Amino acid sequence: MESFIKIAYFLTIILFIFGLKRMSSPATARSGIVWAGVAMLVAVMATFFWPGLQNIALILVATITGGAAAWVSGKKVEMTDMPQMVAIYNGMGGGSAAGIAAVELLRGDIHSSGILTLSVVGGLIGALAFSGSMVAFAKLQGIIGGRPITFPKQQLINVILFVLAVISGIGLVVGDGGATMITIFFLLVLAFGIGVTLPIGGADMPVVISLFNALTGMAVGFEGFAMDNAAMIVAGTVVGAAGTLLTQMMAKAMNRSITQVLFGAFGQEEEGGAADGIEGSLKPIEGDDAAIMMGYASKIIIVSGYGMAVAQAQHKVREMADLLQEKGVEVKYAIHPVAGRMPGHMNVLLAEAGVPYEQLFDLEEINAEFSTADVALVIGANDVVNPRAKTERSSPIYGMPVLDVENAKNVLVIKRGKGTGFAGIENELFYRDQTRMLYGDAQAVVSDLIQQIKQI
């Protein structure tokens, strides 16, 4: 019986690795997840035959209810809300690893201090990823604001929490444990996870989620070592390594370092919302004027952001672009690496609306072209077109690569209201002389523009 499970796990790991490999190329990506899904099913089925497994009814109920809850929420969620769903499911995995550690520690039948250490470390990382991911979810979902939440002595408090958590973890390894000690340990780690994520701004969230993803992978790997479970060891470690690399690549795409992301908000408690030093005013424009401006342009670059996605305006945007192209206008889409909420998110959304890949351009490819564009149409994007990221050292987004929209002859901005972007900072671009504002829901505004363009 045991060797049957080992063979199943072996198969699972091989399928996981091939699945992951296939997922890293657009052409084979879809089949990759299916392979990995089959592998998971094999592993779970095999585990039901684990020798001496009790509480089978309990396991079945937990698997079915948990799986059903995730299935329903995962199917229902809008494409725009995907990033926070990744965060929440990732947090669940971390919580699960921490739960395993808690059960093992409570049982107290691990006698090797080496294995005990692995279990405690896995529990620590898992619980950290759990509470951190929950905060990330709450920020992206808008339950708590996307802005960095800072308060005095925050860094000191986090350090103290971490040190106390490590000390109680050591206590669990050398001491004789006990429910109280285990509870204190996990509470400290959970608090640390919250404390460390709160000050991170919304714009940096993708990197943080990716980091927590890698951490959960490591936690799973550690618990795998503690439980002598090869599938968990290999899958967890593979994700830990892959996730770390992915985190670095994402951070690089945003021109941020991991340390900047994690500790960037500390020590700068200035209110980013103030429009200090910005001259000029916000100048609204009517739909018909905007339509004429676009209809007679020879080149338009569309910069779409999260606001477009929220308004589900991507289909209307494509319709408008088609219309403009019929009139002989050259239309290109500029895709910021983190447009939407995550790298690649906007590509997915525009692909969904049927925009051809050939019209999508990366930041590096398109930035030089803004100076030759008659109109840059910014739809629900804010922080990624903020010129201050290039000039203002004190700005929270300083150093993040931005689209050089201000080089276009005219800038049209479709915006829901006068509020700030996700990073919570004012955008100088909107006050420039060549900029005109179209206020309203992106879908409604673009529908109106389509009607107006048809009339010219």
Partner 1 sequence: MMEGVWAALFIFTLAAFTGYEVIAKVPVILHTPLMSGSNFIHGIVLVGAMVACGHADTLMEQILGFIAVFLGAMNAVGGYVVTERMLLMFERKKPGGA
State the catalytic residues: 383
Decide whether 56 or 174 has the Cβ nearer to partner 1. 56
449's CB contacts (< 8 A; 6+ apart) are: 287, 290, 291, 294, 320, 438
**Residues 193 and 262: beta-carbon distance below 8 Å:** no
| 112-117 CB contacts, 8 Å cutoff, 24+ apart | 113/173, 113/174, 115/225, 115/226, 116/172, 116/173, 116/226, 117/173
SS3 of residue 418 by DSSP? coil
Part in contact with partner 1 (CB under 8 A); list of ranges 77-85, 158-166, 291-299, 433-441: 77-85
Decide whether 224 or 287 has the Cβ nearer to partner 1. 224
**Minimum Å distance from CB 10 to partner 1?**
12
Residue 406: which region, alpha, beta or left (left: phi > 0; alpha: psi -120 to 50)? Answer: alpha
Decide whether 149 or 230 has the Cβ nearer to partner 1. 230
Q: Using CB under 8 A, which of 85, 198, 375, 405 touches partner 1?
A: 85
CA distance 385 to 374: 17
CA distance 440 to 444: 7
CA distance 308 to 366: 20
Decide whether 12 or 443 has the Cβ nearer to partner 1. 12
Give whole-number Cα distances, 293 to 220, 285, 297, 304, 449, in Å: 56, 11, 6, 18, 11
Decide whether 20 or 160 has the Cβ nearer to partner 1. 20
Tell me which residues in 381-440 interact with partner 1 (CB under 8 A): none
Q: Using CB under 8 A, which of 342, 373, 429, 449 touches partner 1?
A: 342
Tell me which residues in 247-266 interact with partner 1 (CB under 8 A): 249-250, 253
**Residue given tokens 């936690």 in the structure block:** 219
CA distance 22 to 16: 10
Give the number of residues in contact with partner 1, rule: CB under 8 A. 118
Query: Helix and strand tally (H, E) in the chain?
Result: 17, 6
Identify any residues that bridge with 340 across adjacent strands, giving them in sequence order.
none
Distance of CA 370 to the CA centre of its chain: 28
Decide whether 41 or 456 has the Cβ nearer to partner 1. 41
**Minimum Å distance from CB 432 to partner 1?**
29
**Token pair for 179:** 């429910």
Pairing type for strands 330-335 and 410-415 reads unpaired
Binding mask 197-226 for partner 1 (x = CB under 8 A): ---------x--xx--x--xx-xxx-xxx-
Tell me which residues in 113-152 interact with partner 1 (CB under 8 A): 114
Q: Using CB under 8 A, which of 241, 292, 310, 323 touches partner 1?
A: 241
Q: Where are the alpha helices (DSSP H) in 141-204?
A: 154-174, 179-197
**Minimum Å distance from CB 352 to partner 1?**
5
**Residues 198 and 135: beta-carbon distance below 8 Å:** yes
**Minimum Å distance from CB 163 to partner 1?**
26
Part in contact with partner 1 (CB under 8 A); list of ranges 72-80, 258-266, 288-296, 429-437: 72-80
Q: Using CB under 8 A, which of 1, 2, 58, 281 touches partner 1?
A: 58
Tell me which residues in 12-41 interact with partner 1 (CB under 8 A): 12, 16-17, 19-21, 23-27, 29-30, 32-34, 36-37, 40
**Residues 187 and 128: beta-carbon distance below 8 Å:** no
Burial per residue of 224-258, b for 16 or more beta-carbon CB atoms within 10 angstroms, e otherwise: bbbbebbbbbbbbbbbbebbbebbbebbebbebeb
Decide whether 88 or 161 has the Cβ nearer to partner 1. 88
Decide whether 289 or 362 has the Cβ nearer to partner 1. 362
Q: Using CB under 8 A, which of 88, 124, 135, 381 touches partner 1?
A: 88
Binding mask 296-335 for partner 1 (x = CB under 8 A): ----------------------------------------
**Minimum Å distance from CB 202 to partner 1?**
16
**Residue given tokens 């585990």 in the structure block:** 47
Q: Using CB under 8 A, which of 351, 361, 416, 431 touches partner 1?
A: 351
Binding mask 145-184 for partner 1 (x = CB under 8 A): ----------------------------------x-----
**Minimum Å distance from CB 378 to partner 1?**
21
SS3 of residue 300 by DSSP? strand
Q: Does 102 bind partner 1 (CB under 8 A)?
A: yes
How many residues can be counted in the chain?
Answer: 456
CA distance 19 to 11: 12
Q: Using CB under 8 A, which of 7, 103, 159, 167 touches partner 1?
A: 103
Decide whether 127 or 412 has the Cβ nearer to partner 1. 127
Q: Does 365 bind partner 1 (CB under 8 A)?
A: no
DSSP 209-225: HHHHHHHHHHHHHHHHH
